[in-house]
DNA sequence: AACACGTACAACCGCGGCGCT
DNA sequence: CAGCGCCGCGGTTGTACGTGT
């Protein structure tokens, strides 16, 4: 299916935006609001394509953007979210108010990747680089891209080229320590997270101990379900929606929506009542994505 | 001071999803 | 149902700036 170019390239500026262009774009959007990016440049008197205008506005000019360095909490939240969502930068950005997908993506590639590599963790799989279950299909890039070269000390020393998996193994047999590994479509407010993987990890895998030794300050074992014990009976199915529900530490059952911290949403099919600080309700002791400590509060965040 | 190399980030490009006709 | 067009996403590139030699 052929596609027409998004804009008449011969009549559009490219490259860095000037102050005047910024001002025009801001003024136009203040007057008319966002949207209709294709027609916006012409209406605003800009010699730019609509995509360029949209990008400039979203990533740089939007008034609600939080400029400045990422905090340690944001770092850890990004790592957690990335381990769950993969390179779904827009979804990750949706949970970091004031941050854009582009900003997070750049930050990941320039800072967090290296940080994880220094910790001996594969940034793609969030598992130890030495993990034998870390199926190796691609070569560890010595650079993020052609010029984002990492210095030699950033790379975990290996005698040979180490390869890692950047995707869920296509082979049907799951790693032995995964008892649950299934695709889910979940809806969070107006967004749908597709191909979400639930991995419930059995206790005491060799690699976990290894990982804890390596990075005692970071628990990247992201569980859906109670952290204290797991067995196959812990995962039951939500009768109404056919999606998994989870046993809580107190023996109660929460639905998948609640396990993601979106209890009380329309997707919630259980009757659990979880306070944000985790101090009441059947799910006491449950802390997903730092909900307890207030790092993340889905209900207070507006999706992009 | 000059150069080379590394880093950070804004911006671009191509593609897929989705709605409309 | 297919074609079309727009929007948004993720990957990649360009380049200014910083640092080391």
Residue A43's domain is classified under what CATH number?
1.10.10.60
Residues A228 and A248 in one domain: yes
Q: What is the mean pLDDT of chain A?
A: 56
3-state secondary structure A103-141: HHHHHHHHHHHHHHHHCCEECCCCEECCCCCCCCCEECC
Nucleotide nearest A5 (Cα, C1'): C5
Domain-terminating residue out of A141, A164, A187: A164
Q: Is residue A6 part of a domain?
A: no
Tens of pLDDT, residue by residue over A66-85, are: 877 888 888 888 888 888 88
Q: Is residue A1 part of a domain?
A: no
Q: Is residue A89 part of a domain?
A: yes
Residue A249: give the domain boundaries: 178-300
| Count of domains for chain A | 3
Q: How far apart are CA A184 and CA A27, in angstroms?
A: 42
> Any idea which residue has 């680089």 for tokens?
A129
Highest mean pLDDT among A125-139, A181-195, A251-265, A270-284: A125-139
Q: Let me know how many helices (H) and strands (E) chain A has, helices first.
A: 9, 9
Q: CA A118, C1' B1: Å apart?
A: 35
The beta-strand segments (E) located in chain A are: 121-122, 127-128, 138-139, 163-164, 178-188, 191-201, 235-237, 244-247, 253-255
Q: How far apart are CA A291 and CA A147, in angstroms?
A: 37
Q: Is residue A254 part of a domain?
A: yes
The burial class, CB within 10 Å (0-12 / 13-18 / 19+), for A294 is exposed
Residues A287 and A234 in one domain: yes
Residues A231 and A283 in one domain: yes
Nucleotide nearest A67 (Cα, C1'): B9
Residues A24 and A95 in one domain: no
Q: CA A185, C1' B17: Å apart?
A: 16
A91 touches strand C (CB under 7 A): yes
A87 touches strand C (CB under 7 A): yes
Domain-terminating residue out of A164, A192, A227: A164
A249: its two tokens: 């530490």
Q: How far apart are CA A75 and CA A73, in angstroms?
A: 5
Q: Rounded mean pLDDT of A201-214?
A: 39
Residues A205 and A281 in one domain: yes
- In this prediction, residue A232 carries a pLDDT of 37
Domain-terminating residue out of A137, A164, A191: A164
Poorest-pLDDT segment among A3-7, A51-55, A131-135, A151-155: A151-155
Ramachandran bin of A243, using left for φ above 0, alpha for ψ from -120 to 50, beta for the remaining angles: beta
Q: Is residue A172 part of a domain?
A: no
Residues A198 and A275 in one domain: yes
A11 confidence band (pLDDT: 50, 70, 90): low
Task: List chain C nucleotides near protein: any atom < 7 Å from a Cβ.
Answer: 3-16
Residues A108 and A195 in one domain: no
Highest mean pLDDT among A104-113, A187-196, A241-250: A104-113
Q: Is residue A150 part of a domain?
A: yes
- Residues by CB within 7 A of strand B: list them: A 3, 6, 9, 13-17, 48, 51-52, 55-56, 59-60, 102-103, 105-107, 109-111, 147-151, 154, 192
A109 touches strand C (CB under 7 A): yes
- In this prediction, residue A185 carries a pLDDT of 37
Q: What percent of chain A has pLDDT over 70?
A: 39
Residues A199 and A119 in one domain: no
Q: Is residue A170 part of a domain?
A: no
Torsions phi, psi of A32, nearest 5? -120, -10
DSSP assignment letter at A243: S
Q: CA A25, C1' C4: Å apart?
A: 28
Q: CA A161, C1' C18: Å apart?
A: 30
């Amino acid at each position: 299916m052929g596609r027409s170019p998004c804009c008449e390239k011969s009549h559009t500026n490219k490259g860095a935006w000037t102050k005047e262009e910024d001002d025009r774009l801001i003024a136009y959007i203040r007057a008319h609001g966002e949207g209709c990016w294709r027609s916006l440049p012409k209406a605003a008197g800009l010699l730019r394509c609509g995509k360029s205008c949209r990008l400039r506005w979203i990533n740089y000019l939007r008034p609600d953007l939080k400029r400045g360095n990422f905090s340690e909490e944001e770092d850890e939240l990004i790592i957690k979210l990335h381990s769950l969502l993969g390179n779904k930068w827009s979804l990750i950005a949706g949970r970091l108010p004031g941050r854009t997908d582009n900003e997070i993506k750049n930050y990941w590639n320039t800072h967090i990747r290296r940080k994880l590599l220094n910790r001996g963790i594969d940034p793609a799989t969030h598992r130890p680089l030495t993990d034998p279950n870390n199926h190796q299909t691609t070569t560890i890039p010595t650079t993020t891209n052609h010029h984002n070269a990492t210095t030699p000390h950033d790379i975990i020393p290996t005698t040979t080229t180490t390869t890692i998996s950047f995707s869920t193994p296509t082979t049907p047999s799951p790693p032995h320590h995964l008892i649950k590994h299934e695709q889910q479509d979940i809806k969070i407010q107006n967004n749908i997270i597709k191909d979400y993987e639930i991995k419930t990890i059995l206790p005491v895998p060799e690699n976990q101990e290894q990982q804890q030794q390596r990075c005692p300050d970071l628990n990247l074992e992201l569980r859906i379900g109670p952290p204290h014990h797991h067995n196959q009976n812990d995962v039951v199915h939500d009768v109404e929606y056919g999606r998994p529900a989870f046993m809580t530490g107190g023996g109660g059952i929460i639905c998948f929506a609640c396990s993601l911290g979106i209890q009380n949403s329309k997707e919630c099919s259980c009757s659990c009542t979880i306070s944000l600080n985790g101090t009441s309700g059947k799910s006491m002791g449950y802390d997903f994505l730092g909900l307890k400590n207030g790092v993340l509060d889905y209900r207070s965040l507006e999706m992009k």
